[in-house]
Amino acid sequence: MSLPIRNVAIIAHVDHGKTTLVDALLRQAGTFREGEEVPTCVMDSNTLERERGITILSKNTAVRYGETLINIVDTPGHADFGGEVERVLGMVEGCLLIVDANEGPMPQTRFVLRKALEKGLRPIVVVNKIDRPRAEPYKAIDKVLDLFLELGADEDQCDFPYLFASGLQGFALEEADLNDFLAGNYSGSLDMQPLFDGILKHVPPPIGDASKPLQLQVTTLEYSEYLGRIVIGKIHNGTIRLGEQLALVKEEGKIVKNKVTKLFGFQGLQRIELTEATVGHIVAVAGFAEANIGHTLTSPDNPQALPLIKVDEPTLQMVLCVNDSPFAGQEGTFVTSRQLRERLMRELETNVALRVEETDSPDRFLVSGRGELHLGILLETMRREGYEFQVGQPRVIFREVNGQPYEPYECLVLDVPESAMGSCIERLGQRRGEMQNMMVGSDGRAQLEFVIPARGLIGFRGEFIRMTRGEGIMSHSFLEYRPMTAEMEMRRNGVLIAFEEGVATSYSLKNAEDRGVFFISPGTRVYKGMVVGEHNRPQDLELNVCKTKQLTNHRAAGGEELVHLQAPVDMNLERALEYISEDELVEITPKSVRLRKAQLTTSRR
């Protein structure tokens, strides 16, 4: 007799505490041994996820609570990784919507909630971080209800259950206990039991028939050097057994038959080998090398495919090409167009929201994604794997509706100090942003909400950080396609361009400091046509940054003084992508990120 099952996804805006809450659930369920050292955010296993503190890939785990097996799927909160959210929501019957008690629902809360409501799920709302000083849990619940109504939730969905929690401290509370806790009078035990009980009470068990032919939809792919491709998905109907022959139904009904070589279930952070699994179980299956996301594993005698997973279309694209700069091939391991093409095609197998098109030139590929972060994470991953390449300026993808050009619009929310409000509103006005809402708090901060064309956001983040002196928080998510607006003013100063190949010297950088700000420091190798800084005027300027001081045998007064240079602007990958204009490229290698002009010689420019 198999255990009763509950499948639940955890969805929220980025940084509202999903992964920390999963840590608390795992701890309470006894996943970790006594005295075992447990890292924070155990589900964020990817290096980039740990560095950035965000979830990029959906991952699942399973815990036992009493006699029930609860499968928990942790999803990304960033709208750029919406493809990950869409495909895993088909695996679950319920979801926990995590909302920050201080910030309330944010743009990506709207995005992930809309996807959950479209799937017919009834979320359990968890107001997280109630132990924070500025927490307003009741206000957060009111805002969530407004958002449900705005998104057209039905009566049953609007009557949502809710709980209050602190993922960091590892406890959840019913509404009856919240006032006592806020007043400091609560004497009960602080643990995650109310949340587990809420999952058992409000998340329905999986629906399906174990006696019907097998139907398992592939929602995640992994690769093992020993087992090859591993597919992960939920069993909708039937039973799967180790060693049995199954049919894989691909696009357009094509069928491939293979044997189940390994079958795994999930328990805590471990995988356990199974001999069979039935309806509602989320399992990992090896033996199907041609499987792809959305395909169905089914009975070979009576193959019945499930509908393919539909994912929102990309909104941003860029050209990725082979590196042809004077430093090409010096730092990367994989530099040819064949290697780049193979890597991009491999990414397509697991990254459902990505599109790759070949162009007239074999050295150039058109890569489309959900946003700058989505594309930036792909480029950063490739760079760390040893690939070397160049990319052009990201561009918005336009659509044609009834013969009219349409463009994507975004919902943008800014949390800024009051002193920066005016400059943010003015700058977004120039970028065709329309203010929808403004709230000024008693703590000297304001929350501004805008609707803005997606192209108006390209390059805005750097300006925003400068305007708010690094104190602002900015988040946005795709809203809809609307008729294209007029041209917008995307003002940016000219750039400083290296005049010749060599090594930058502190002498030449010091002499040119009054011309603008630099992206390089002394000792950096440069080549002719490389962008080394931003000019303080609108036009581009060529400089010799490799010039050395003419030495004589006379000692000048003050000649031994230490030269103090302004700190260079650190151009990381995402910042470089935002910064470049149409006639520039970003050269990306495992060791460097360089900005350059597409045409290196002055006469060609």
pLDDT given at position 390: 93
With respect to residue 310, please indicate whether it lies within any of the assigned structural domains.
Answer: no
Collapsed DSSP state (helix, strand, coil) of residue 499: coil
Known binding residue 197? Answer is no
Task: Give the range with max mean pLDDT: 201-205, 462-466, 487-491.
Answer: 201-205
Collapsed DSSP state (helix, strand, coil) of residue 118: helix
With respect to residue 431, please indicate whether it lies within any of the assigned structural domains.
Answer: yes
pLDDT in tens, 371-390: 777 788 889 889 989 999 99
Known binding residue 332? Answer is no
With respect to residue 347, please indicate whether it lies within any of the assigned structural domains.
Answer: no
pLDDT reading at 414 higher than 50: yes
Known binding residue 129? Answer is yes
Residues 453, 429 contacting (CB under 8 angstroms)? no
Known binding residue 535? Answer is no
Between CA 324 and CA 326 the distance in angstroms is 7
3-state SS track over 342-363? HHHHHHHHHCCCCEEEECCCCC
- Average the pLDDT over 243-268 and give the result: 83
- Number of domains making up the chain: 4
Give the range of the structural domain holding residue 451, as residue numbers without chain letter: 399-483
Tokens of 55: 């979830």
**Residues 153, 9: one domain?**
yes
**Phi, psi values for residue 415, rounded to 5°:** -115, 105
2: left (phi over 0), alpha (psi -120 to 50) or beta: beta
pLDDT given at position 391: 93
- Average the pLDDT over 212-216 and give the result: 87
With respect to residue 542, please indicate whether it lies within any of the assigned structural domains.
Answer: yes
Between CA 441 and CA 447 the distance in angstroms is 8
**Residues 535, 418: one domain?**
no
Residues 491, 443 contacting (CB under 8 angstroms)? no
pLDDT given at position 587: 92
Known binding residue 552? Answer is no
Domain stops at, among 233, 266, 298: 298
Known binding residue 16? Answer is yes
Domain of residue 531, CATH code:
2.40.50.250
Alpha helices in 41-106 (DSSP H): 47-52, 82-88
Known binding residue 333? Answer is no
Known binding residue 40? Answer is no
Between CA 144 and CA 104 the distance in angstroms is 7
pTM for this predicted structure: 0.71
pLDDT given at position 387: 92
- Average the pLDDT over 320-330 and give the result: 90
Domain of residue 461, CATH code:
3.30.70.240
pLDDT given at position 589: 92
With respect to residue 315, please indicate whether it lies within any of the assigned structural domains.
Answer: no
**Residues 34, 169: one domain?**
yes
Mean pLDDT of the chain: 80
**Phi, psi values for residue 530, rounded to 5°:** -80, 140
With respect to residue 331, please indicate whether it lies within any of the assigned structural domains.
Answer: no
Between CA 450 and CA 442 the distance in angstroms is 21
Residues 226, 261 contacting (CB under 8 angstroms)? no
**Residues 62, 126: one domain?**
yes
Q: How many residues does the chain have?
A: 605
**Residues 87, 42: one domain?**
yes
Give the closest residue to 92 by CA, choosing from 67, 108, 75. Answer: 75
pLDDT given at position 568: 84
Tokens of 331: 């730092």
Helix, strand, coil shares of the chain as percentages rounded to 5? 25, 30, 45
Task: Give the range with max mean pLDDT: 167-171, 467-471, 520-524.
Answer: 520-524
**Residues 182, 227: one domain?**
no
Domain stops at, among 251, 281, 298: 298
Domain of residue 31, CATH code:
3.40.50.300
pLDDT reading at 340 higher than 70: yes
Known binding residue 20? Answer is yes
Domain stops at, among 455, 483, 511: 483
Tokens of 318: 């860029």
Other CB atoms within 10 A of residue 320 CB: 24
What is the bridge-based pairing of β-strands 530-535 and 516-518?
Answer: antiparallel
Other CB atoms within 10 A of residue 180 CB: 13
**Residues 169, 142: one domain?**
yes
Known binding residue 15? Answer is yes
**End-to-end alpha carbon distance in the chain:** 74
pLDDT in tens, 66-96: 888 888 887 765 555 555 666 777 788 888 8
Between CA 52 and CA 227 the distance in angstroms is 31
Residues 449, 413 contacting (CB under 8 angstroms)? yes
pLDDT reading at 197 higher than 60: yes
**Residues 57, 144: one domain?**
yes
DSSP output for 236-304: EES-EETT-EEEEE-GGG-EEEEE--EEEEEEBTEEEE-SEE-TT-EEEEES-TT--TT-EEE-SSS--
